[in-house]
Chain A
Amino acid sequence: MSDHCIIIGASHAGVNCAFALRKEGWKGRITLVDADPELPYHRPPLSKTFLTSNDPIDKHSLKSAESYRSEAIDLLLGVQVDKLDSGEHQITLSNGERLGFNQLVLATGARPIKPNIQGLDQASYAYPLRTASDVNNIKNAVGINAKKVVIIGGGYIGLEIAASLNQLGHEITLLERENRILARVTVPEMSQYFEDLHGRHGVRIHTDKEVVAVNDHKVSCSDGSSYQADVIVIGVGITVNQELAVDAGIEVDNGILVDGACRTNLQDIYAIGDCTNHHNPHYGTNIRLESVQNASDQAKIAAANICGNPINYNSIPWFWSDQYNIKLQIVGLSDGFTDKIVRHEEADIDKFSIWYFKGPELLAVDAVNNAKAYVLGTKFIKDEIKVNKTKLLDSDVQLKPAELTSI
């Protein structure tokens, strides 16, 4: 058999890996399989510009159809991989076909969690949001006349959907189970900022709301309150697509376990992107990330290692979220911070940054409409530069490397 690399999952991780393999000099066959029938596309716009515009999904393609042909990457779309036989080095597709491989990359990502809410399965007007077809369903359901939309879950995706549908003129209620939105991912100051931002736009956010039942367009919470909904969108988080890996005997622990080269515990099998639990050397911690950065960086690492170029993953995570005219940019991991500095610029309430420290070490920066703070934070973290905290706190001191590092 000639060399054949199969990649399961053709999204940010899988597609980047296929192209990176060619760049690294892989001469054999490359097959990229995905259950989604669309030409692979960027996911972040799904809750942002793809939801608010009438553009077709091709506007957001990761690569043109022609690029796959010119790089001799075989795309099998609309086909699910049902089985992975690691011993035989073989996969079985939903159409019954079997394909053998020398090297395999799992880039299976994640799928939305279906919360345990009574009546949700029967509610034909309730939708998840992970794929282009999910968004098309939501667009069709909300139509052009103002609708009452209830969003369950106040994470980044839920908030982005709220902003987008609000801008389309719909009446939005967002229900969050915790006592603040974004509770799992950021500090109370940031939660408060986004709650106020949405409030200013007329989105009603209710926290401490555990949804227990959906019935006849009524969303009911455990405290007895209820909300009318023409359409429900569910955004309560994701669960990793790791069943293929588990059945094949690959080790998992909150994601598919990989080493610095993105290798699983089984020979010739790699995993990349949202589906992995990996080690971040800069922070010395194991983590599962849901971000484009991690998907594309791991894609390149796996491709290099498959082609015999032994490099290890060593990225500083970064992420963004766009809501209304606000751009949130995050660099680093703030977990385990001991103190933080909230820095405001000028008199603009929509322009600030939060700097997270562990003692003298800068761990992460959350920047709101403040790309300067974001790039500066990135540089300081990467180069492990010590920041003068007193100066950082003083908004008269400019956000420039030389200004903030001097004693």
Chain B
Amino acid sequence: MAKITFITQSGESIAAEAKDGSLMELAKNNNVSGIEGECGGVCSCTTCHVHIEANYYSKTGAPGDIEADMLELDDHVSEYSRLGCQVQITAELDGMMVHVANE
């Protein structure tokens, strides 16, 4: 089990728990504002863009090739950017905070 806290652009904080699935799925199941997951998790839309808490970034790892290209020119890109649909939840991520990049 991993407990993950999403912080939305409006500052709302939503705590959610899952043992597997992706960050995008977890956010959607908890109706986190700013995570749309329009393409259903296939790296085609960037509507699941999040910023990973710095000290967890080594645990989620860096984006894959397509993911990095999709993020490269995004207005809200940061060095901790990931597409939520490409981050799989594991117990290691327990306690992580992620900031939702889009409104």
Q: Interface of A with B (CB < 8 Å)?
A: 16, 19, 23, 42, 44-45, 48, 60, 63-64, 66-67, 70-71, 292-293, 296, 318, 320, 322, 327, 329, 370-372, 374-376, 378-379, 401
Contacts and interface: CB of A to CB of B under 8 A. Distances in A.
Given A42-B40, A401-B73, 16 more contacts: A44-B39, A44-B42, A45-B40, A60-B40, A64-B29, A66-B29, A67-B30, A70-B31, A292-B38, A296-B36, A320-B39, A320-B42, A327-B42, A329-B44, A371-B66, A371-B70
Contacts of A374: 69-70
Nearest to B70: A371
Given A44-B39, A60-B40, A329-B44, A375 B69 contact: yes
A329 B66 CA distance: 12
Interface of B: 28-31, 33, 36, 38-40, 42-45, 66, 69-70, 72-74
A296 B102 CA distance: 15
Given A372-B72, A376-B73, A327 B66 contact: yes
Closest A-B pairs by Cβ, 9 of them:
A371-B69, A42-B40, A320-B44, A64-B29, A372-B69, A67-B31, A375-B73, A371-B66, A371-B70
Q: Is the interface of B mostly helix, strand, loop or mixed?
A: loop
B21 to A, nearest CB: 9
Given A371-B66, A371-B70, A296 B38 contact: yes
Contacts of A375: 69-70, 72-74
A144 to B, nearest CB: 26
Contacts of A370: 69
A385 B74 CA distance: 16
Q: Is the interface of A mostly helix, strand, loop or mixed?
A: helix
Nearest to B21: A59
8 contacts: A16-B36, A60-B40, A64-B29, A293-B45, A320-B39, A371-B69, A372-B69, A401-B73
Contacts of B73: 375-376, 378-379, 401
B26 to A, nearest CB: 10
B29 A67 contact: yes
B75 to A, nearest CB: 10
Contacts of A48: 42
Contacts of A23: 33
A23 B33 CA distance: 9
B66 A293 contact: no
Contacts of B45: 292-293, 318
Nearest to B66: A371
Nearest to A292: B38
Nearest to A297: B38
A322 B66 CA distance: 13
Contacts of B66: 327, 371
